[in-house]
A and B are shown apart, each in its own frame.
Chain A
Amino acid sequence: MQRVVERILNLLAFLLTVGRPVTAEEIRNTVNGYDQPSDEAFRRTFERDKDLLRRLGVPLHLEHTDAWEVEQGYVVSPDQYALPDPGLTDEERTALWLATRMVRLGGQAPGPGAIFKLGGAPIAAAGDPLTADLGAEAETLAEVFRAVTDRRTLQFEYHDEPRTMRPWGLVHRMGHWYVVGEAAKDKRTFRVDRMSAITVGTKAGAFERPKGFRASEGFPDAPWEAGEADVEVTVRFDAEVAWWARRQLSNAAHVVDAGAGAIDATFPVASPDAFIGWMIGFEDSAEILAPDDLRRRFVEHVGAPG
C-alpha cells in the first residue's frame, strides 16, 4: 500500500502542476513509481491508478496534446480538483459529522472521508443513536444525484420501458427516493428504486433547470395521491383500525362517525393500485363503500389466483 500511496501522490502532484495534457508515456518516464519492467505491467498499474483517482473524486480528463489532435494526454485542472470552500465553522462540521452517524444510506454508515475533505471534525460528543435509514439504493442514487447537479439527461428503464428525462431534483418521501423532472415534455416523478439500466448523459449543462424549483413542490402526501386518476372513495374502517386509519389520512379526508367506534372516510385517490395495496393491509377490517367500480376492482384483485 505504501508504494501505491506514494505513487499516487507523485502522480497527482505532477498533474496538478504541469499545466498541460500529458501522455501516459510521459508520465511513465517522469513520475516516480512507474518503473515497471514491461509495457504490460506499466499499463496495468496505470489503469489501476486512474481508477483509484476517479474513485477519490479527482476529475481526470483526456485532452488532445496539440492542435493537430494526434495524441491524447491526461489533465487535472486545479480548479476542478479543488473543493469550493463552503466556509464551515468547527461547530457546523461537528453537526454534519454527527448527522452522518445518525443516518444510514445504502445499508451502512458512510466513511469519514467526506467530512475529512471538509476539514475534519473536532468531535465533541457522541451522537444520538441511528435516527433514519434512507434505503439501500445508494449507488443508483449517487448517479441520479450527479445527473441532477450537473444537469445531465438520464436514460433508464422503468416498468420495462425505456425513458429519458431531464432530472431537476431528488425527494425522499415516506421511505422512498423519487427523482422529479421533465420527461416527454411533462413534469414527471419516478421512484429511484424502480429505475434500472441507468445511463447518465455525457454532456453537463444539457438543459436549464426551472429557477427556484423545489423538488417536493406539488408532491403528493400519500402514495395513493400520486398518479393521474382522480377518484373520490368512501371507506368504512372498523373500530379496531379506525384510530390507525385516521392517523394516516390527510386533512383532505372527510370523516363521519359510523357507530360503534367505526368511521366512514371520504377522500381523493389518484393511484387506485397504490390504494388497493394499502387497503389490503387492513385485511377484513375495512371496506370500500364507493365508488362501485373501484370496489369491484378491489374484489377482482383480491380474488385473483396467486
Chain B
Amino acid sequence: MTSPRTADRLTRILSMLPWVIANPGTAVDEVCKRFGYERAELLEDLNLVFVCGLPGYGPGDLMDASVDDDEVVIDMADYFARPMRLTAAEALMLLAAGLAVMSSGAAPPALASAVAKLQAVVVPDEGTVEIDLAAEPETLDLFRGAAREGRVIAITYTAIGSGSTTEREIEPWGVFATLGNWYVRGYCRLAQAERVFRIDRIRTAEPTADGFSPPDEPPSPVVRYTPGVDDVTARIRLSPRSAWVADYYPVSVVDETDGSKTIDFSAGDPSVAARLLVRLASTASLEDGDEVAEATRELRERILRRYG
C-alpha cells in the first residue's frame, strides 16, 4: 500500500496545477496560502512537475513549471487543466459538514450558497442528503455567545436518574452536537476542571457579570466518553442482537465470535452500565463487575417497585 502522504501530495499537485493554469500570473504567496504550501514545498512540487509529461519525455513533451518574477508559471500541461473529481467520501464529507453547520444555526450566508452549488454537481437533487443535528435547546445561543465573548454562565444542572441538582459557574469554550444532543464544554469552577454538560439537562442558565479568557487552544473536546481513572468497568457479553452497542458506545471489544461480542464498558458511575443492561434485557449479560451487578439489581427492583 502506498502511503497516504503520497496520495495527499498528488491530490494537492493535481489541484494546484489547474488552478494556476486558470489563474495565470498568480504570486507564489497566494498559491501557498490557498493550498497550504510552505514556499519550499511548492518549489519542490514545481520541480517535480517539471520533469513529468508525455511519452517521449523530451523538452517538448514535459510540462513547464517554474517561478518567474515571483509568479507561478505552468505551461504545456493542458491535460491537467481541470481538477480531479471528488471521491464519494470527499463529496459526502463536504456536503455533510456544510449541511451540519447550516443546521446548527452558526452558518455564514456564503455557506448556504456554497452548499447549493455543491449539491448541484454531486447529488441528484437537494433532498438527497439531509441533516438535522438535534433540536436546538433555547439556551444554545446563550452559550454560543458566552463562548465567543468570554462570559461566565451560572447554571443549575440536573443529573437525570440520580436526580441530583447542582449550581455551578462555568466558563463555556464552545457548544457542539453529537448523538442527537447538544453539549456545552468548558471549565467548571465548581469541579475546578474541564467538564462537558448536556444542554437539555441544564435547567437554568444565567449570564453573570464575570468574564474569563478562554485557553488559547482549548483541548479537542471529548465528544465520546473516554475512560477515567476512577471508572467502574463491567465486562458485558452482547448477543448478535445487541452487538450494535459495541459500535455505539466507546467500549473496548475483548472478544468476538459468531456475531457475539464481549466488551469492557467503563463509566464514572455504575448506574450508566446498569441502565444499559436493563435496556438490553435478555440480549446481553454481565460477565464481570460487582458494582454494576449490584446497581443493575437495585435499578430493576426500584423500577419494578413503582409498577407494584
Contacts and interface: CB of A to CB of B under 8 A. Distances in A.
A142 B91 CA distance: 9
A175 B181 contact: yes
B278 A302 contact: yes
Given A5-B48, A117-B83, A129-B147, 10 more contacts: A1-B6, A57-B86, A98-B108, A99-B98, A132-B133, A148-B124, A169-B129, A174-B179, A216-B130, A287-B307
Contacts of B228: none
Interface stretch (B67-75, B187-195, B240-248, B262-270): B240-248
A164 B64 CA distance: 51
Interface string A212-239: 1111110000000000000000000000
Given A1-B3, A116-B15, A212-B125, A295 B307 contact: yes
B254 interface: no
A4 B117 contact: no
Contact of A104 (B114, B223, B241, B278): B223
B11 A82 contact: no
Interface string A83-108: 11111110111111011101111000
A128 interface: yes
Interface in A114-155: 114-123, 128-139, 141-143, 145-146, 148-149, 151
Interface of B: 1-3, 5-16, 19, 30, 33-36, 48-49, 51-55, 57, 63, 79-80, 82-94, 96-101, 104, 106-108, 110-111, 113-115, 117-118, 120-125, 127-134, 137, 147, 158, 160-161, 163, 173-181, 200-201, 203, 218, 220-221, 223-224, 240-241, 244, 247-248, 259, 275, 277-282, 284-286, 296, 299-300, 302-307
Interface string A271-290: 00000110011111101000
B280 A86 contact: no
A94 B34 CA distance: 10
Contacts of B279: 276-277, 280
B85 A151 contact: no
Contacts of B14: 12, 56, 117
Contacts of A305: 282
11 contacts: A10-B53, A81-B82, A81-B85, A82-B82, A83-B82, A83-B84, A86-B120, A115-B94, A116-B35, A117-B83, A280-B303
A149 B120 CA distance: 12
A185 interface: no
Given A1-B5, A52-B10, A116-B12, A149 B130 contact: no
- Ranked 4 nearest A-B pairs via Cβ: A175-B180, A214-B127, A174-B180, A92-B114
Interface string A187-210: 000000110000000000000010
A114 B94 contact: yes
A160 B281 contact: no
Interface residues of A, number: 128
A169 to B, nearest CB: 5
A100 B212 CA distance: 28
B262 to A, nearest CB: 14
Nearest to B247: A193
Given A5-B48, A123-B33, A13 B80 contact: yes
Nearest to A123: B33
A306 B285 contact: yes
A133 B128 contact: no
A17 interface: yes
B52 A9 contact: yes
A283 B161 contact: yes
Contacts of B100: 99, 102-103, 131-132, 134, 172
B10 A56 contact: yes
B2 A4 contact: yes
Contact of A1 (B9, B55, B247): B9
A129 B124 contact: no
Given A95-B108, A169-B129, A243-B203, A193 B52 contact: no
Contacts of A117: 11, 14-15, 83-86, 90
B106 A128 contact: yes
Contacts of B174: 128-131
Contacts of A130: 174, 176, 220-221, 223
A306 B296 contact: yes
A96 B54 contact: no
A80 B85 contact: yes
A6 B181 CA distance: 48
A71 B96 CA distance: 42
A6 B52 contact: yes
Contacts of A133: 176-179, 223-224
Interface in A152-190: 159-160, 168-176
A25 interface: no
B302 to A, nearest CB: 4
Given A83-B83, A302-B300, A134 B127 contact: no
A159 B240 CA distance: 8
A32 interface: yes
A113 B7 CA distance: 9
A298 B307 contact: yes
A298 B107 CA distance: 43
Contacts of B259: 160
B178 A132 contact: yes
B257 to A, nearest CB: 15
Contacts of B12: 113, 116
Contacts of A282: 160-161
